Amino acid sequence: MTRVPLVDLQAQYRSIKADIDAAAQRVLDGGQYALGPAVSSFEQAFAAYCGTKEAIGVNSGTSALHLALLAAGVSPGDEVITVPFTFIATVAAIEYAGARPVFVDVDDTYCTMDPARLEASVTPRTKAIVPVHLYGQPADMDPILEIARRRGIAVIEDACQAHGAEYRGHRCGSMGTLGCFSFYPTKNLGAVGEGGAVVASDPELAARVRLLRSWGEQTRYTHAVRGFNYRMDGLQGAVLDVKLRHLEGWTEARRAHAAFYAQRLRDTAVSLPRDRDGVRHVFHVYAVRTAQRDTLRARLADAGVQTAVHYPIPVHLQPAYRDLGYRSGDFPVAERLAREVLSLPIFPELTEQQIDIVADVIRTYIPAAAPA
Ligand SMILES: *Cc1c(COP(=O)(O)O)cnc(C)c1O
Protein backbone atom coordinates (compact mmCIF):
# COMPACT_ATOMS: atom_id res chain seq x y z
CA MET A 1 0.00 0.00 0.00
CA THR A 2 1.29 3.48 -0.86
CA ARG A 3 1.38 5.60 2.27
CA VAL A 4 3.49 8.38 0.81
CA PRO A 5 3.41 8.90 -2.97
CA LEU A 6 6.29 10.63 -4.76
CA VAL A 7 3.88 13.23 -6.17
CA ASP A 8 0.08 13.65 -6.02
CA LEU A 9 -1.30 15.46 -9.05
CA GLN A 10 -4.94 14.70 -8.26
CA ALA A 11 -4.66 16.36 -4.84
CA GLN A 12 -3.57 19.57 -6.53
CA TYR A 13 -6.39 19.39 -9.09
CA ARG A 14 -8.99 18.81 -6.35
CA SER A 15 -7.77 21.91 -4.49
CA ILE A 16 -8.51 24.23 -7.46
CA LYS A 17 -10.99 22.13 -9.46
CA ALA A 18 -13.70 24.78 -9.88
CA ASP A 19 -11.28 27.35 -11.36
CA ILE A 20 -9.53 24.84 -13.63
CA ASP A 21 -12.81 23.42 -14.92
CA ALA A 22 -14.18 26.90 -15.65
CA ALA A 23 -11.00 27.97 -17.48
CA ALA A 24 -10.97 24.77 -19.55
CA GLN A 25 -14.66 25.21 -20.34
CA ARG A 26 -14.01 28.74 -21.65
CA VAL A 27 -11.44 27.37 -24.10
CA LEU A 28 -13.74 24.55 -25.20
CA ASP A 29 -16.59 27.02 -25.77
CA GLY A 30 -14.33 29.63 -27.39
CA GLY A 31 -12.95 27.33 -30.09
CA GLN A 32 -9.30 28.53 -30.09
CA TYR A 33 -7.62 25.26 -29.32
CA ALA A 34 -4.07 26.03 -30.47
CA LEU A 35 -2.48 29.27 -29.16
CA GLY A 36 -5.25 31.89 -28.82
CA PRO A 37 -6.15 34.33 -26.02
CA ALA A 38 -5.66 31.89 -23.14
CA VAL A 39 -2.06 31.25 -24.23
CA SER A 40 -1.36 34.99 -24.73
CA SER A 41 -2.73 35.77 -21.30
CA PHE A 42 -0.57 33.08 -19.71
CA GLU A 43 2.50 34.26 -21.64
CA GLN A 44 2.13 37.78 -20.21
CA ALA A 45 1.63 36.54 -16.68
CA PHE A 46 4.55 34.11 -16.89
CA ALA A 47 6.94 36.74 -18.29
CA ALA A 48 6.03 39.02 -15.37
CA TYR A 49 6.57 36.13 -12.95
CA CYS A 50 10.04 35.45 -14.38
CA GLY A 51 11.01 39.14 -14.57
CA THR A 52 11.42 39.07 -18.37
CA LYS A 53 9.77 41.16 -21.07
CA GLU A 54 8.31 38.21 -22.93
CA ALA A 55 7.38 34.57 -22.70
CA ILE A 56 6.62 32.33 -25.68
CA GLY A 57 4.44 29.30 -24.97
CA VAL A 58 5.44 26.07 -26.69
CA ASN A 59 4.45 22.40 -26.53
CA SER A 60 7.26 21.13 -24.26
CA GLY A 61 10.42 22.04 -22.39
CA THR A 62 12.38 20.16 -25.02
CA SER A 63 10.88 22.36 -27.76
CA ALA A 64 11.70 25.44 -25.66
CA LEU A 65 15.36 24.39 -25.48
CA HIS A 66 15.47 23.53 -29.19
CA LEU A 67 14.05 26.91 -30.26
CA ALA A 68 16.15 28.90 -27.77
CA LEU A 69 19.31 27.29 -29.14
CA LEU A 70 18.26 28.00 -32.74
CA ALA A 71 17.30 31.59 -31.92
CA ALA A 72 20.70 32.09 -30.28
CA GLY A 73 22.28 31.08 -33.59
CA VAL A 74 23.36 27.52 -32.79
CA SER A 75 23.80 25.56 -36.01
CA PRO A 76 25.42 22.36 -37.32
CA GLY A 77 29.11 22.14 -36.51
CA ASP A 78 28.82 24.21 -33.33
CA GLU A 79 29.58 22.94 -29.85
CA VAL A 80 27.24 23.53 -26.91
CA ILE A 81 28.48 22.98 -23.36
CA THR A 82 26.21 21.43 -20.75
CA VAL A 83 26.36 18.96 -17.84
CA PRO A 84 26.13 15.16 -17.98
CA PHE A 85 24.02 15.09 -14.80
CA THR A 86 20.64 16.20 -16.17
CA PHE A 87 17.51 14.85 -17.79
CA ILE A 88 18.25 13.52 -21.28
CA ALA A 89 16.18 16.29 -22.97
CA THR A 90 18.86 18.93 -22.31
CA VAL A 91 21.28 16.99 -24.48
CA ALA A 92 18.72 15.88 -27.05
CA ALA A 93 17.77 19.51 -27.76
CA ILE A 94 21.42 20.40 -28.44
CA GLU A 95 21.54 17.65 -31.07
CA TYR A 96 18.17 18.71 -32.54
CA ALA A 97 19.85 22.06 -33.22
CA GLY A 98 22.61 20.18 -35.07
CA ALA A 99 25.31 20.95 -32.50
CA ARG A 100 27.65 18.64 -30.60
CA PRO A 101 27.08 18.39 -26.85
CA VAL A 102 30.24 18.91 -24.78
CA PHE A 103 30.05 18.01 -21.10
CA VAL A 104 31.44 19.74 -18.04
CA ASP A 105 31.16 17.93 -14.70
CA VAL A 106 28.93 19.17 -11.89
CA ASP A 107 30.12 20.23 -8.47
CA ASP A 108 29.80 17.83 -5.59
CA THR A 109 27.83 20.02 -3.19
CA TYR A 110 25.10 21.56 -5.34
CA CYS A 111 24.96 19.12 -8.29
CA THR A 112 25.06 21.93 -10.90
CA MET A 113 27.67 22.95 -13.52
CA ASP A 114 31.11 23.47 -11.96
CA PRO A 115 32.21 26.89 -13.28
CA ALA A 116 35.84 26.09 -12.35
CA ARG A 117 35.87 23.40 -15.06
CA LEU A 118 33.96 25.41 -17.66
CA GLU A 119 36.59 27.54 -19.33
CA ALA A 120 38.83 24.57 -20.20
CA SER A 121 35.99 23.17 -22.34
CA VAL A 122 35.41 26.34 -24.36
CA THR A 123 36.75 26.16 -27.94
CA PRO A 124 36.40 28.52 -30.93
CA ARG A 125 33.37 26.40 -31.92
CA THR A 126 31.51 26.88 -28.63
CA LYS A 127 28.29 28.72 -29.44
CA ALA A 128 26.30 28.31 -26.25
CA ILE A 129 26.42 27.13 -22.64
CA VAL A 130 23.36 25.42 -21.13
CA PRO A 131 23.51 25.44 -17.33
CA VAL A 132 20.79 23.33 -15.70
CA HIS A 133 19.10 24.54 -12.51
CA LEU A 134 18.84 20.96 -11.27
CA TYR A 135 16.21 19.94 -8.69
CA GLY A 136 15.16 23.62 -8.39
CA GLN A 137 18.62 24.78 -7.22
CA PRO A 138 20.04 27.64 -9.34
CA ALA A 139 23.35 26.94 -11.05
CA ASP A 140 26.22 29.26 -10.09
CA MET A 141 25.33 31.82 -12.75
CA ASP A 142 27.73 34.73 -12.07
CA PRO A 143 30.96 32.96 -13.08
CA ILE A 144 29.18 31.20 -15.97
CA LEU A 145 27.81 34.50 -17.29
CA GLU A 146 31.20 36.15 -16.85
CA ILE A 147 33.00 33.51 -18.94
CA ALA A 148 30.24 33.60 -21.58
CA ARG A 149 30.36 37.40 -21.82
CA ARG A 150 34.14 37.45 -22.13
CA ARG A 151 34.08 34.76 -24.85
CA GLY A 152 30.99 36.04 -26.68
CA ILE A 153 28.95 32.87 -26.06
CA ALA A 154 25.18 32.62 -25.51
CA VAL A 155 23.81 31.24 -22.23
CA ILE A 156 20.57 29.25 -22.51
CA GLU A 157 19.21 28.43 -19.05
CA ASP A 158 17.56 25.06 -18.62
CA ALA A 159 15.08 26.19 -15.97
CA CYS A 160 12.74 23.24 -16.57
CA GLN A 161 12.96 22.33 -12.86
CA ALA A 162 13.31 25.86 -11.49
CA HIS A 163 10.08 27.90 -11.82
CA GLY A 164 10.41 30.81 -9.39
CA ALA A 165 13.93 29.88 -8.22
CA GLU A 166 16.21 32.87 -7.62
CA TYR A 167 19.95 33.53 -7.78
CA ARG A 168 21.13 36.74 -6.09
CA GLY A 169 17.73 38.35 -6.58
CA HIS A 170 17.22 37.22 -10.19
CA ARG A 171 14.64 34.66 -11.23
CA CYS A 172 15.94 31.61 -13.06
CA GLY A 173 15.35 31.99 -16.79
CA SER A 174 15.94 35.76 -16.69
CA MET A 175 19.74 35.81 -16.38
CA GLY A 176 20.95 34.19 -19.59
CA THR A 177 20.40 35.04 -23.25
CA LEU A 178 17.15 33.03 -23.09
CA GLY A 179 15.48 30.85 -20.44
CA CYS A 180 13.60 27.58 -20.97
CA PHE A 181 10.80 26.02 -18.93
CA SER A 182 8.84 22.79 -19.00
CA PHE A 183 5.24 22.48 -17.82
CA TYR A 184 5.20 18.68 -17.90
CA PRO A 185 2.50 17.66 -15.36
CA THR A 186 4.92 16.81 -12.53
CA LYS A 187 6.97 20.03 -12.78
CA ASN A 188 6.46 22.75 -10.13
CA LEU A 189 4.08 24.44 -12.58
CA GLY A 190 2.42 21.65 -14.53
CA ALA A 191 -0.03 21.53 -17.42
CA VAL A 192 -2.67 18.82 -17.95
CA GLY A 193 -0.49 17.46 -20.72
CA GLU A 194 2.70 18.71 -22.33
CA GLY A 195 3.84 22.34 -22.31
CA GLY A 196 6.84 24.64 -22.16
CA ALA A 197 7.97 28.24 -22.59
CA VAL A 198 10.95 30.32 -23.61
CA VAL A 199 11.40 33.57 -21.67
CA ALA A 200 13.25 36.52 -23.19
CA SER A 201 13.96 40.18 -22.65
CA ASP A 202 15.57 40.81 -26.06
CA PRO A 203 12.65 41.58 -28.40
CA GLU A 204 14.53 40.34 -31.48
CA LEU A 205 15.28 36.95 -29.95
CA ALA A 206 11.71 36.69 -28.68
CA ALA A 207 10.38 37.41 -32.17
CA ARG A 208 12.65 34.73 -33.62
CA VAL A 209 11.39 32.12 -31.13
CA ARG A 210 7.78 33.14 -31.85
CA LEU A 211 8.35 32.73 -35.59
CA LEU A 212 10.06 29.34 -35.23
CA ARG A 213 7.36 27.89 -32.97
CA SER A 214 4.69 28.13 -35.68
CA TRP A 215 6.24 27.14 -39.01
CA GLY A 216 8.17 30.39 -39.43
CA GLU A 217 4.91 31.87 -40.64
CA GLN A 218 5.17 35.66 -40.90
CA THR A 219 1.79 36.25 -42.50
CA ARG A 220 -0.74 33.59 -43.48
CA TYR A 221 1.05 30.92 -45.57
CA THR A 222 4.16 33.05 -46.02
CA HIS A 223 7.03 31.27 -44.32
CA ALA A 224 9.96 33.59 -43.58
CA VAL A 225 12.09 30.82 -42.09
CA ARG A 226 11.88 27.04 -41.76
CA GLY A 227 10.01 26.49 -38.54
CA PHE A 228 8.24 23.87 -36.44
CA ASN A 229 4.83 22.94 -35.08
CA TYR A 230 5.71 23.67 -31.45
CA ARG A 231 2.59 25.67 -30.51
CA MET A 232 1.08 25.55 -27.02
CA ASP A 233 -2.52 24.24 -26.74
CA GLY A 234 -5.20 26.73 -25.71
CA LEU A 235 -6.29 24.35 -22.97
CA GLN A 236 -2.80 24.22 -21.48
CA GLY A 237 -2.50 28.02 -21.53
CA ALA A 238 -5.82 28.33 -19.66
CA VAL A 239 -4.87 25.75 -17.02
CA LEU A 240 -1.39 27.20 -16.55
CA ASP A 241 -2.80 30.73 -16.17
CA VAL A 242 -4.96 29.54 -13.28
CA LYS A 243 -2.17 27.48 -11.69
CA LEU A 244 0.40 30.29 -11.93
CA ARG A 245 -1.64 32.26 -9.38
CA HIS A 246 -0.99 29.46 -6.87
CA LEU A 247 2.66 28.86 -7.68
CA GLU A 248 4.14 31.08 -4.95
CA GLY A 249 2.05 29.35 -2.28
CA TRP A 250 2.97 25.92 -3.61
CA THR A 251 6.65 26.87 -3.76
CA GLU A 252 6.63 28.07 -0.16
CA ALA A 253 4.97 24.79 0.83
CA ARG A 254 7.76 22.83 -0.94
CA ARG A 255 10.39 24.93 0.86
CA ALA A 256 8.70 24.34 4.21
CA HIS A 257 8.61 20.58 3.54
CA ALA A 258 12.33 20.66 2.68
CA ALA A 259 13.07 22.47 5.96
CA PHE A 260 10.99 19.92 7.87
CA TYR A 261 12.80 17.00 6.16
CA ALA A 262 16.14 18.62 7.09
CA GLN A 263 15.09 18.87 10.72
CA ARG A 264 13.77 15.30 10.88
CA LEU A 265 16.79 13.80 9.06
CA ARG A 266 19.48 15.70 10.99
CA ASP A 267 20.31 12.69 13.14
CA THR A 268 20.91 10.30 10.23
CA ALA A 269 23.90 9.58 8.01
CA VAL A 270 22.22 10.56 4.73
CA SER A 271 23.57 13.83 3.23
CA LEU A 272 20.91 16.47 2.86
CA PRO A 273 20.58 18.91 -0.04
CA ARG A 274 22.22 22.27 0.63
CA ASP A 275 21.08 25.64 -0.71
CA ARG A 276 23.75 27.72 -2.36
CA ASP A 277 24.26 31.07 -0.57
CA GLY A 278 21.97 33.81 -1.81
CA VAL A 279 19.54 31.55 -3.68
CA ARG A 280 15.92 30.55 -3.45
CA HIS A 281 15.81 26.80 -4.03
CA VAL A 282 12.33 25.68 -5.16
CA PHE A 283 12.73 21.95 -4.42
CA HIS A 284 11.31 20.42 -7.55
CA VAL A 285 13.17 17.38 -6.21
CA TYR A 286 14.34 16.68 -2.65
CA ALA A 287 17.39 14.48 -3.21
CA VAL A 288 19.36 13.04 -0.32
CA ARG A 289 22.61 11.14 -0.79
CA THR A 290 23.83 7.87 0.65
CA ALA A 291 26.18 5.11 -0.49
CA GLN A 292 23.43 2.69 0.62
CA ARG A 293 20.94 4.22 -1.78
CA ASP A 294 19.51 1.03 -3.31
CA THR A 295 18.98 -0.69 0.05
CA LEU A 296 17.38 2.40 1.54
CA ARG A 297 15.14 2.71 -1.49
CA ALA A 298 13.97 -0.89 -1.05
CA ARG A 299 13.26 -0.34 2.67
CA LEU A 300 11.25 2.78 1.90
CA ALA A 301 9.28 0.87 -0.74
CA ASP A 302 8.54 -1.87 1.85
CA ALA A 303 7.15 0.85 4.13
CA GLY A 304 4.89 2.22 1.36
CA VAL A 305 7.07 5.22 0.48
CA GLN A 306 7.55 5.94 -3.23
CA THR A 307 10.93 7.33 -4.23
CA ALA A 308 12.79 7.97 -7.48
CA VAL A 309 16.34 8.39 -8.72
CA HIS A 310 17.11 11.56 -10.68
CA TYR A 311 19.16 10.25 -12.48
CA PRO A 312 20.61 6.73 -12.31
CA ILE A 313 22.78 7.02 -15.44
CA PRO A 314 24.55 10.24 -16.41
CA VAL A 315 23.94 11.22 -20.03
CA HIS A 316 27.53 10.52 -21.15
CA LEU A 317 27.09 6.86 -20.15
CA GLN A 318 23.63 6.39 -21.70
CA PRO A 319 23.53 3.68 -24.38
CA ALA A 320 21.92 6.19 -26.77
CA TYR A 321 24.94 8.50 -26.52
CA ARG A 322 27.71 5.91 -26.73
CA ASP A 323 28.88 7.42 -30.02
CA LEU A 324 29.89 10.66 -28.30
CA GLY A 325 32.93 8.68 -27.17
CA TYR A 326 32.81 9.31 -23.44
CA ARG A 327 33.59 6.58 -20.89
CA SER A 328 33.14 5.69 -17.31
CA GLY A 329 35.47 7.87 -15.21
CA ASP A 330 35.24 10.95 -17.47
CA PHE A 331 32.89 12.82 -15.11
CA PRO A 332 33.48 11.34 -11.66
CA VAL A 333 31.18 13.69 -9.73
CA ALA A 334 28.21 13.03 -12.00
CA GLU A 335 28.92 9.30 -11.84
CA ARG A 336 29.07 9.26 -8.03
CA LEU A 337 25.87 11.31 -7.76
CA ALA A 338 24.13 8.85 -10.10
CA ARG A 339 25.01 6.06 -7.63
CA GLU A 340 24.08 7.96 -4.46
CA VAL A 341 21.12 10.30 -4.99
CA LEU A 342 17.62 9.36 -3.84
CA SER A 343 14.58 11.59 -4.39
CA LEU A 344 12.13 11.58 -1.48
CA PRO A 345 8.45 12.49 -1.90
CA ILE A 346 7.93 16.24 -2.23
CA PHE A 347 4.88 18.10 -3.48
CA PRO A 348 2.91 21.03 -2.04
CA GLU A 349 0.13 18.90 -0.52
CA LEU A 350 2.55 16.60 1.34
CA THR A 351 1.87 16.56 5.11
CA GLU A 352 4.21 16.61 8.10
CA GLN A 353 2.80 13.23 9.12
CA GLN A 354 3.89 11.82 5.76
CA ILE A 355 7.36 13.35 6.15
CA ASP A 356 7.55 11.70 9.58
CA ILE A 357 6.79 8.31 8.00
CA VAL A 358 9.65 8.79 5.51
CA ALA A 359 12.07 10.10 8.15
CA ASP A 360 11.31 7.25 10.55
CA VAL A 361 12.26 4.64 7.94
CA ILE A 362 15.49 6.47 7.15
CA ARG A 363 16.38 6.87 10.84
CA THR A 364 15.84 3.15 11.37
CA TYR A 365 18.03 2.00 8.47
CA ILE A 366 20.66 4.73 8.18
CA PRO A 367 21.17 6.07 11.70
CA ALA A 368 23.95 8.56 12.34
CA ALA A 369 26.29 5.85 13.67
CA ALA A 370 26.21 3.79 10.46
CA PRO A 371 28.98 4.28 7.91
CA ALA A 372 27.81 6.78 5.31
C1 LIG B 1 11.60 18.15 -17.80
C2 LIG B 1 12.92 18.60 -18.25
C3 LIG B 1 13.19 18.92 -19.59
C4 LIG B 1 12.25 18.63 -20.73
O5 LIG B 1 10.98 19.09 -20.60
P6 LIG B 1 9.78 18.36 -21.36
O7 LIG B 1 8.64 19.29 -21.14
O8 LIG B 1 9.59 17.03 -20.74
O9 LIG B 1 10.15 18.25 -22.79
C10 LIG B 1 14.44 19.43 -19.90
N11 LIG B 1 15.39 19.60 -18.96
C12 LIG B 1 15.17 19.29 -17.67
C13 LIG B 1 16.25 19.52 -16.69
C14 LIG B 1 13.93 18.77 -17.28
O15 LIG B 1 13.74 18.43 -16.00
Domain ranges of the chain: 9-244, 247-365
> Could you tell me which CATH number the domain at 247-365 has?
3.90.1150.10
Q: Would you place residue 296 in the very low, low, confident or very high pLDDT band (cuts 50, 70, 90)?
A: very high
* Pairing of β 196-200 and β 217-219: unpaired
**Please, which residues bridge with residue 129 across strands?**
81, 155
Distance 39 CA to ligand 1 centre (A): 20
Question: Which element (helix H / strand E) includes 29?
Answer: helix 17-30
Please state the pTM of the whole predicted model. 0.98
Contacts of 209 (CB under 8 A, 6+ apart): 56, 67, 68, 71, 178, 198, 200
pLDDT at 371 over 60: no
Distance 182 CA to ligand 1 centre (A): 5
Average of pLDDT values for 180-203? 98
Q: How many CA atoms lie within 13 A of 91 on its CB side?
A: 18
92: number of Cβ within 10 Å: 17
CB-based burial label for 29 (10 Å; 0-12, 13-18, 19+): exposed
* pLDDT on residue 369: 61
List pocket residues of ligand 1, CB cut-off 6 Å: 60-62, 86-87, 89-90, 132, 158, 160-161, 182, 184, 194, 196
Render pLDDT for 211-264 as a digit per residue (tens, 0 to 9): 999 999 999 999 999 999 999 999 999 999 999 999 999 999 999 999 999 999
Q: Which atom of ligand 1 is nearest to the CA of 60?
A: 7
Distance 363 CA to ligand 1 centre (A): 33
pLDDT at 210 over 80: yes
Distance 175 CA to ligand 1 centre (A): 19
Alpha helices in 227-351 (DSSP H): 234-244, 247-264, 293-302, 332-340
Q: Is the peptide bond before 311 cis (omega within 30 degrees of 0)?
A: yes
Q: What is the largest CA-CA distance in the chain?
A: 69
- Measured distance between the N- and C-terminal CA atoms of the chain, rounded to whole angstroms: 29
215: DSSP letter: T
Average of pLDDT values for 19-44? 98
Q: Which atom of ligand 1 is nearest to the CA of 63?
A: 9
Q: Which atom of ligand 1 is nearest to the CA of 89?
A: 10
Q: Which class is 9-244 in CATH?
A: alpha beta
